[in-house]
Amino acid sequence: MKPVWLLLLLVVCLAAVAGAWFVVQGQNAATQGNESLRSAGDLVFPVLVDNADAADHIEIITNRGQLAFRRDGDAWVMPVRGDFPVEREKLRRLIVGLARVRVIEPKTADPANHATLFLNEPNPFSGEGRPGEGPMRIRISRDNGSDLMADAIVGGSTYQAETSRLYLRDARENQTYLVEGVVAVEANPMRWVPDPIVRMRRADVARVEVTRPDGDYTLIPTPDGEQTLGPSNVIPFRLETLAENEEMTSLTLGGSIASALDYLRTVDIARTDDIASTEPLTTLTYISNDGLRLRVRVFPADDSGAWMAFDATTADDATEEAARQANDLNDRVGGFAFKAPEFAANRFRHARSELVSEASKQTLRKRREAAEAAASAGEPDDSEDEPTTTPAEEPSNEGSADDQP
């Protein structure tokens, strides 16, 4: 065969191979969502740069559940949690952070390798992993949620050369990237609401009135001279009255109840009307030194935690600041209930019987000696007027370590 024919045959073969390569690449592109490879320095979601304020729906999906946010005028709310308002600036930081993410370099486009970078699609019903672990999918839309502007899956993160880096994938594509930027995303709904929901410092508590089916009781601060238990910075609380044959088992347990609102952790939100139980198991009223009356109604939950609803009033002699706090609290949390985990809920569920025990002989002897000393000094003996009760006093033992607040 002449050389010219060999050359012509070679050209035809090369053309056939090139054509097949382009066909395969076209099929791969179609399989991967017609994606175009982004280069170093490119924005991943440029549409967000000029349209951040147009966003009106956001979804966050993880292996442990999902969150939804909806714009309501100038505010943002959580629709599936009774339209409870969230912190607008936190959502704006999320949108702006995703808008500023830039490519450092492309990574794998093989779906089989997505899970290695935590870029596989999360399943909100799987319950896999610990909170904050695994892939997080963020969907940002406008026009009442009809126009999807960004659909990102955020995976593992690194920190190198004073630069925050993370692995990211457009959920509509298979191509993954190492990107530069900060995406402030949280799967916990309570991280998006003002914190704390309610608060009353233990040092501000004047008394706690507890209403329970098995017996009511009231806690008051122990006078300074009787604070003999616990660390020096603890302000223990005691029962306001005791029967003659009772004594406090531990002063520190009363302090734990009194400090339950000092920092209350909550994990979920619902409308009070949506709670299964219509009657609270326990009601506690925390009364502050300036006259604020903060009522806590405790309802059962499906698990070992508890739902709590809050409202506030003021005493007749309350300060203006107390009145302002009451109005603010009712405006923020009125009509809503907040779920506390077991360890936090337990501080609101103590029965009176857990705080007292039968008085020891030593305690009874001390009471008799105190009464005799008062009588010899010419002081009135209150026990003759109120034979069934006596002011609560310090216990004859120091309680267990479990009583510590």
The answer to whether residue 28 scores a pLDDT higher than 60 is: no
Q: Are 277 and 299 in contact (CB under 8 A)?
A: yes
Lowest-pLDDT range of 38-42, 248-252, 278-282, 380-384: 380-384
Token pair, residue 346, equals 């337990």
Share above pLDDT 70 across residues of the chain, in percent, rounded to a whole number: 77
- Distance (Å) of CA 362 to CA 241, 258, 389: 19, 28, 18
What pLDDT is recorded for position 386? Answer: 44
pLDDT band, very low/low/confident/very high, at 320 (cuts 50, 70, 90): very high
Contacts of 278 (CB under 8 A, 6+ apart): none
pLDDT digits over 246-285, tens only? 888 876 888 899 999 998 999 999 999 988 667 899 999 9
Who has greater pLDDT, 17 or 205? Answer: 205
Q: How distant is the alpha carbon of residue 45 from its chain centre?
A: 30
Strands laid side by side in the 102-106 sheet: 84-86, 75-78, 65-72, 57-62, 136-142, 147-160, 163-170, 176-180, 102-106
Q: Are 286 and 230 in contact (CB under 8 A)?
A: no
The answer to whether residue 206 scores a pLDDT higher than 70 is: yes
Who has greater pLDDT, 398 or 95? Answer: 95
Beta strands, E only, 196-288: 205-211, 217-221, 237-239, 241-243, 246-248, 268-271, 282-288
pLDDT band, very low/low/confident/very high, at 113 (cuts 50, 70, 90): very high
Distance CA 101, CA 122 (A): 21
Mean pLDDT of 153-175: 86
pLDDT band, very low/low/confident/very high, at 131 (cuts 50, 70, 90): low
Does the global pTM surpass 0.85?
Answer: no
Pure H helices in 229-319: 251-258
Who has greater pLDDT, 58 or 364? Answer: 58
Q: Report cis status (omega within 30 of 0) of the bond before 196.
A: yes
The answer to whether residue 321 scores a pLDDT higher than 90 is: yes
Contacts of 58 (CB under 8 A, 6+ apart): 68, 69, 91, 94, 95, 138, 139, 140, 141
Neighbours of 139 (CB within 10 A): 18
Q: Which of 44, 39, 266 is nearest to 138 (CA)?
A: 44
What pLDDT is recorded for position 30? Answer: 35
The answer to whether residue 166 scores a pLDDT higher than 80 is: yes
What pLDDT is recorded for position 233? Answer: 46
Residue type, 361: K
Three-class secondary structure of residue 271 per DSSP: strand
Who has greater pLDDT, 224 or 313? Answer: 313
- The full DSSP string for 336-362 is EEEEE-HHHHGGG---GGGTEEEPPHH
Q: Are 25 and 37 in contact (CB under 8 A)?
A: no
